[in-house]
Chain A
Amino acid sequence: MPVNEPHGAAQAAAPGGATAGARPGTAEWEPRIIGFCCNWCSYAGADLAGTSRLEYPPTVRVIRVPCSGRVNPQFIVRAFQKGADGVLVAGCHPGDCHYSTGNYFTRRRLQVARRFLEYLGIDPRRLRITWISASEGQKFADTVREMTEEVRALGPNRVMRDELWAAN
């Protein structure tokens, strides 16, 4: 495909249901979600979900970060470029940050980033920012399940994708 082809064209060219496997438009297609989880709360929350044997869809790829404040908005753009259909950023509840104030800055920054991404054409439901403590394994599982349903309904992301992922 030509490098500068707009994603609209890519969408038209995408195989619609004819191909086997996890192609978009097939029943097997599952959203890919990148989950940035802070080390101190949300990653431990995800761990708890696992040790508690809570079931949630295997759609999320967790990336551990020291603090939700570590999540540079460029990470989010990069995730969408490289094939993510949704991005989850999870941190400690405001007031509970291991570094006292990190997540307060995250909240401001990502409020703006989320609206800005929407302005650029990314559906805001594809970027979820939420607070999950180390004891909230259930909330982690619920969040992933809800987000998976939502992103599944939205279908594969087409915006910002690089060539490799454009048709996927």
Chain B
Amino acid sequence: MGGELKTASGGMTGVRSGVGSELAERAAGLLAGGEVRMFLGYGAGRTPLRVRPRHVLRPEAAGGLVWNEFCAPSLAKYLLEEQEEEGRVGVLVKACDLRAVKRLVADRRVERERVLLVGVGCPGVVDAGKVEALLARAVPGEMVEEAGVRDGVLVVQTRSGVREFPREEYLLERCLHCEDPNPRDVDLFVGPEVAPWPARPHDYAEVAEVAALGAAERAAYWDRQFARCLRCFACRNVCPACSCRECCFDVWEPMWLPREVSVSEQYMFHFTRAFHVAGRCVDCGECERVCPVGIPLMKLNRALQKEIAELFGVERPWEPQEKEPLAMYTPDDPDFH
């Protein structure tokens, strides 16, 4: 990537964003009818490339809800705190977010009956961080004024002109692997279904790349990655598989994770975080998306997925399994030699 940004011809004409007001109407109806006490959706964010979670409590506030190609964050983890209050909560889910909700339900952290799942067909969401980085590299201090998608191309109006980004360049990595952009078994579906696109296979190419390095280079690679870690715990907080009431990183006795910031302790943190979700990771990629320093966390999660798939014959390790692969055994599991 890098180099010149492409300038869009035709300015911003025909660039649309969102599926209209259907979602707001449905949410308002659910709230007015008392079916849910709250609706969790998206509201406008601080730039046109970003949205923020919006907790809607009153029907008249539903107008602030948006649904568009910038709705990357998963809202699943917000359901945890909502479980503490009585009543049912409506939540907008993309297909990938649905896997996250299923994870929380399977872990018995969220009661399925107390959630009203509102599904939406997703054309793939924008990796705002990636687009912002591309823009900033080309024009320092660039500001985004308007953004939307036209014929599968992201069109961004900035202070210096109108730019466009092809699909492969702006989509989140998880979207390129998406097999079905329409969530199934939801309670309600809003907007049109989205036609699937050719999904990249789960071939673990990025894992193989790291595994192909020599042992010393591999360690040096992870040293470099982990050295940037700020221990902000965003990866843990966003993860739908990381929902223990008491987290080993928070306890002081025993102190599993000393507060010292050293590469050695970063290994402890990242090994533990990845291993604790091994066999339960839903491959949503939220950890990597929220990482403020760009640690390739999915390369850890995917390595574990790959190992579990290979060792125990789990075909689709990113989907909630009937029995968690590491919480079961068979007498003829592969042995050590």
Give chain A's interface residues, CB within 8 Å of chain B.
3-8, 73-74, 77-78, 81, 94-95, 101, 104-105, 107-123, 128-130, 158-163
Q: Does B141 contact A (CB under 8 A)?
A: no
Comparing B79-87, B178-186, B220-228, the segment that makes contact with chain A is: B220-228
**Interface, chain B (partner A; CB < 8 A):** 207, 210-211, 215-216, 218-224, 227, 248, 256, 261-265, 267-268, 271-272, 274-275, 278-279, 300, 303-304, 307-308, 311-312, 325-331, 333-336
Neighbouring B residues of A160 by C-beta, 8 Å:
264, 267-268
A46 to chain B minimum Cβ distance, whole angstroms, is 18
Kindly report which residue of chain B lies nearest to residue A101, judged by CB atoms. B329
Instruction: Give every chain A residue within 8 A of B311 (Cβ-Cβ).
Output: 108, 111-112, 115
Q: A8-B216, A105-B326 are in contact. List 8 more A-B contacts (CB 8 A).
A: A74-B256, A77-B271, A81-B268, A104-B331, A112-B311, A112-B326, A119-B210, A128-B336
Q: Is the CB of B267 within 8 A of A77?
A: yes
Contact B227 A6 (CB under 8 A): yes
- Residues of A near B221 (CB, < 8 A) are 121
List of A residues within 8 angstroms of B327 by Cβ: 105
Question: Nearest Cβ in chain B — how far from A42, in angstroms?
Answer: 14
- Top 9 A-B pairs ranked by shortest CB distance? A121-B219, A104-B329, A162-B264, A6-B223, A121-B218, A160-B267, A159-B219, A129-B336, A115-B307
Q: Which residues of B contact A81 (CB under 8 A)?
A: 264-265, 267-268
Quote the shortest CB–CB distance from B294 to chain A (angstroms).
17
Asked whether B333 lies within 8 Å of A116 as measured between CB atoms, the reply is no
* Interchain CB contact (< 8 A) of A116 among B215, B223, B274, B336: B274
Main SS of the interface on chain A?
A: helix
Pair B211/A119 contact, Cβ less than 8 Å: yes
Please tell me if the beta carbons of B335 and A94 are within 8 angstroms of each other in the complex.
Answer: yes
Our pick among A73, A121, A128, A162 for the contact of B275 (Cβ within 8 Å) is: A73
Listed A/B pairs (16) with beta-carbon separation below 8 Å: A4-B227, A6-B223, A6-B227, A7-B219, A8-B220, A105-B326, A105-B327, A107-B336, A108-B328, A114-B336, A115-B307, A119-B210, A121-B220, A121-B221, A160-B267, A161-B264
Among A108, A109, A116, A128, chain B packs the most CB atoms within 10 A around the CB of: A108
Q: Is the CB of A121 within 8 A of B216?
A: yes
The answer to whether A6 and B263 touch (CB under 8 A), given A111-B333, A123-B215, is yes
For the complex, what is the distance from the CA of A116 to the CA of B276, rounded to whole Å?
12
Partner of B312, one of A77, A108, A118: A108
Please, which residues of chain B bring their CB within 8 A of the CB of A128? Answer: 336
Q: How far is the CB of B153 from chain A (nearest CB, A)?
A: 37
Minimum CB–CB distance for A168 against chain B, Å: 13
A94 to B307, CA, bound (A): 21
- Residues of chain A within 8 A (CB-CB) of B265 are 81, 162
Would you call B268 and A74 a contact (CB within 8 A)?
yes
Instruction: Report the separation of the CA atoms of residues A110 and B275 in the bound assembly, to the nearest whole angstrom.
Output: 11
Contacts of B216 in A (CB 8 A): 8, 121, 158
Would A116 and B303 count as touching, CB distance under 8 A?
yes
Asked if A77 and B222 make an inter-chain contact with CB atoms under 8 angstroms apart, the answer reads: no
Bound-state Cα–Cα, A159 to B329, Å: 30
Given contacts A121-B216, A121-B218, contact A112 B331 (CB under 8 A): no
